[in-house]
Structures are given as structure tokens and as C-alpha cells.
Amino acid sequence: MKKVLTVAGSDCSGGAGIQADLKSFSAQGVYGMSVITAITAQNTQGVFAVQDITPEIIGQQMDAIFTDIEVDAVKIGMVSQAASIEIISEKLRQYKPSKVVLDPVMISKSGYSLLQPSAKSALLAELLPLAYVITPNIPEAEAILEGKLGKAFKIQNVEDMTRAAKEIRELGPEFVLVKGGHLEASAVDVLFDGETAVYFNEDRVNTKNTHGTGCTLSSAIAANLALGYSVVESIKISKAYITDAIRHSLDIGKGVGPTNHFYTLYKRAGLNYE
């Protein structure tokens, strides 16, 4: 069985963060492991508090995994402080996993800042060059490019997304996937590999329940890379998976509910959990 590690924050409500990553790993048929970078107090209505795990413990968690278990891919999610980014980057350079998927989590859906301002430069300088695939949404891509260019970069259409992907790739990642879920006109994602832009289209699902979609997609991509699929194939499989999970999302809580990570497996088992 392929083994995939998530390095991310904990969501106590189970919809995002390492909880979503581990569910997504299991749904793809890989063995999931986790390094916790932060503990959040959050639910479907928002993020209310964040307690960062010390960089020393983050590093020791990574040592514990890599010195014992072969890691076929790594997904990196919420890392809020510069010192944590530095230790994660140090361990990635030490252990050299070949498939690193970086989901640059910066702001929650409720508007809570999950990346300290002082950590943005560390993210750009340390983690981006180590990423095989990076998966920013439009606000994250804009924030990355503001840090790179020193001025605002607004993304309003697919052409802007393509230019953004090309600019972000200059920071070091092999592949850049700019997700278009924030566009009103379409739900297209743009992948750029340094030469060619590939466009992924899925039907937009009309639901408010999209908590954890970015975490789920990026972890599914990491899992499928571990399974031996190409980047384009991994994204296609993962896009279909997350679209189905959103289409059958769970109306849990008073706010933005989570996706249904195991809908397809439940359906095969004759269970109807929606």
C-alpha cells in the first residue's frame, strides 16, 4: 500500500485540515500519516483560535515518520509561522520526498488569517521551491504574486489565472495549479508546467457546503501521485472525486458544511449518507 503524509493543521470539526486529508487519503486507497502543525478551534461557522505546535515538535514528528516509514508523497497544508516553515523545509531537504504537494493555506473561508504576515516571505522562499505541485486558489495566488511582484495582481478571468500560474512557477515549483472556484463565470482550474497550460473544467455545484474542499483536493492529488499517476491524471481523478464529494456534501452544522469524502464508497456499500 502506498503511504502519504500530510503536514497540516487540525480542524476539530473534521471538515478540513488533517482530518479532511486523512479521509481523502483513505478514499483514494492509500495509507495516511500526519504531522500536526497547529491546533485550531473551528467549526462550520468559522475559525476562532489557533495554537501553533512548536517547530521542534513539528520536526520531531517528521523525523519519526521518515526514519521509520517510506513516504510516497507529502501534502503540506496550513503552516502559519515562519519558524515552522523553516523546519519543514529543512526536513524536506533532508529526506527528499519526490512528490510534495503544497496547498498554500492563507485565509479561511470565514476570513480568518491562517498565515502570519511575517511567514509569507518564508513560504515563498523556502517551501515553494521544494514543491512538485502547488495548488493555490485565486486569493492565495494573488497573495503569492503580491509578495513576488511587490504590487497587487488581480485575477478576474482564466487569462489572468494562466498568467498567474506562469509567474508563480518562476518561484520554483514544478507544476502550478491555480484553482478557479472563486470565479463567478466558470469553475475552471489552470495547470502550468513551464511550457504548456492545461485547463480542467467541472460543473459548478450549487451548494454552500464546501468546507475543506482545498484540503481534500490537494490531498487527493498527492495520493494519486503516490499511486503512480501523472500530474494531469492525478488532477483529473481528484477533480472528479472532489466534485462528487461536493455534489453530495453533508449539511452538518449551522454554517458551511463539509464535503462527503466517502460518498462513492458508501454508495458501493449500499449506504445512503447525504
- Annotated active-site residue 12? The verdict is no
For the question of residue 215 being annotated catalytic, the response is yes
Identify which of 87, 166, 158, 132 has the alpha carbon closest to the alpha carbon of residue 144: 166
Q: Which of 9, 59, 181, 214 is catalytic?
A: 214
Residue 270 annotated as catalytic: no
Query: How would you classify residue 117: left for phi > 0, otherwise alpha for psi between -120 and 50, otherwise beta?
Result: alpha
Task: Evaluate the CA torsion angle 197, 142, 216, 126 in order and state its sign.
Answer: positive
Cell of 272: 445512503
Q: Judge contact between 258 and 15, C-beta under 8 A.
A: yes
State the alpha helices, DSSP H only, in the chain. 17-28, 55-66, 82-95, 120-122, 138-149, 158-169, 213-226, 231-247, 263-268
Residue 263 has phi, psi (to 5 degrees) of -55, -50
Catalytic residue among 37, 210, 216, 243: 210
Choose the catalytic residue: 6, 40, 135, 213: 213
Query: Which DSSP letter does residue 184 get?
Result: S
Of 186, 187, 207, nearest in space to 249 by CA: 207
Which residue in the list 9, 14, 17, 212 is annotated as catalytic? 212
213 an active-site residue? yes
The Cα–Cα gap between 206 and 43 comes to 21
Active-site residue identified among 14, 179, 216, 243: 179
Task: For residue 91, indicate whether it is catalytic.
Answer: no
Active site residue 264: no
Among 17, 75, 215, 216, the active-site one is 215
Q: Which of 245, 269, 226 is nearest to 72 (CA)?
A: 226
Catalytic residue list: 179, 210, 212-215
